[in-house]
């Protein structure tokens, strides 16, 4: 009986404690609240894989960098030849068929080619004694101007007539791998092979601008600034 009395006496206290425990467990402030934090990543870079080689946009090693430089070099030559207006700068010359190979150290020799105008300023050798002379003329009398490309080599050919009435045939090949350009100029009296490179006609543009000093009232300082801008 005594045990039952003690049990009944403690029963209200147990119920109160249980209720208090439930109240504490169900209090909103006691429940951990989860917070969603967005993950931050690197900026996304869009790559145009159709018009450009994605490898050359971000080369990873020396092999890829060298390949990209070669690709860029070839693209510059392609763009230059496709413009159909470019200059050839010789470094060697040889009279065919058995002439000696000669170096050209003077930097002012060039050959400018376009479908509407050809400018020739090149050293040459004539006759059996191979005496030195010069081809120096501009002409608009041009025929059969042809440009084609096979693999890594461009081929250009044309017929022209000089101001003295001489007819010449010009054949040129340009490598997009090495940049080497070979020019053959020939007619019934001469056959010359030149080796060099192609580029824009910068020196002649500078010369034309400086020539305006004598023909225009523009100040010399302004002309020099225009010449410097061209380079």
CA 132 from chain center: how many Å? 38
pLDDT reported for residue 209 = 44
pLDDT reported for residue 21 = 44
Distances (CA, A) of 49 to 11, 54, 211: 80, 6, 47
pLDDT reported for residue 139 = 94
Written as six digits, the tokens of 212 are 């305006």
Q: What is d(CA 192, CA 226) in angstroms, rounded to the nearest whole number? A: 36
pLDDT reported for residue 60 = 78
For residue 111, report the phi and psi dihedrals to the nearest 5 degrees: -135, 115
Q: What ranges in 146-185 are assigned the alpha helix state H?
A: none
Q: Where in the chain is the domain with CATH 2.40.128.410?
A: 78-200
Written as six digits, the tokens of 121 are 């300023």
Q: Burial letters for 190-209: b for 16+ Cβ neighbours within 10 Å, e otherwise?
A: bbbbbbbebbebebeebeeb
For residue 164, report the phi and psi dihedrals to the nearest 5 degrees: -85, 0
Q: What is d(CA 80, CA 74) in angstroms, rounded to the nearest whole number? A: 10
Mean pLDDT by 10 residues, the chain (231 residues): 54 49 48 55 49 67 89 94 95 92 94 94 83 92 94 96 92 97 94 96 56 51 57 49
Q: What is d(CA 162, CA 139) in angstroms, rounded to the nearest whole number? A: 6
Distances (CA, A) of 225 to 77, 216, 221, 229: 29, 15, 6, 6
Helix (H, G, I), strand (E, B) or coil at 216: coil
Q: Please, is 140 exposed, middle or buried when counting C-beta atoms within 10 Å of its C-beta (0-12, 13-18, 19+)?
A: exposed
* Cβ-based neighbour number of residue 21 at 10 Å: 10
pLDDT reported for residue 111 = 96
| CATH tag for 78-200 (out of 2.40.128.410, 1.20.140.10, 3.40.50.20, 3.40.50.720) | 2.40.128.410
pLDDT reported for residue 193 = 97
pLDDT reported for residue 194 = 98
pLDDT reported for residue 24 = 45
């Amino acid at each position: 009986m005594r045990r039952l009395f003690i049990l009944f006496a403690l029963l209200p206290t147990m119920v109160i404690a249980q209720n208090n425990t439930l109240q504490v467990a169900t209090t909103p402030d006691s429940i951990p609240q989860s917070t969603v934090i967005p993950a931050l990543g690197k900026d996304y870079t869009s790559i145009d894989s159709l018009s450009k080689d994605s490898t050359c946009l971000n080369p990873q090693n020396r092999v890829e960098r060298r390949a990209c430089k070669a690709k860029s070099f070839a693209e510059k030559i392609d763009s230059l030849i496709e413009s159909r207006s470019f200059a050839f700068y010789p470094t060697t010359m040889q009279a065919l068929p058995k002439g000696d190979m000669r170096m050209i150290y003077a930097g002012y020799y060039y050959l400018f080619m376009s479908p509407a105008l050809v400018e020739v300023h090149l050293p040459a050798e004539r006759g059996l004694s191979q005496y030195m002379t010069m081809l120096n003329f501009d002409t608009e009398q041009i025929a059969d101007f042809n440009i084609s490309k096979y693999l890594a080599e461009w081929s250009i050919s044309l017929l022209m007539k000089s101001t003295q009435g001489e007819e010449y045939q010009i054949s040129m090949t340009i490598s997009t791998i090495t940049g080497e350009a070979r020019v053959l100029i020939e007619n019934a009296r001469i056959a010359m092979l030149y080796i060099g490179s192609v580029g824009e006609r910068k020196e002649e543009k500078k010369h034309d601008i400086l020539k305006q000093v004598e023909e225009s009232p523009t100040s010399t300082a302004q002309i020099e600034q225009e010449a410097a801008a061209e380079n």
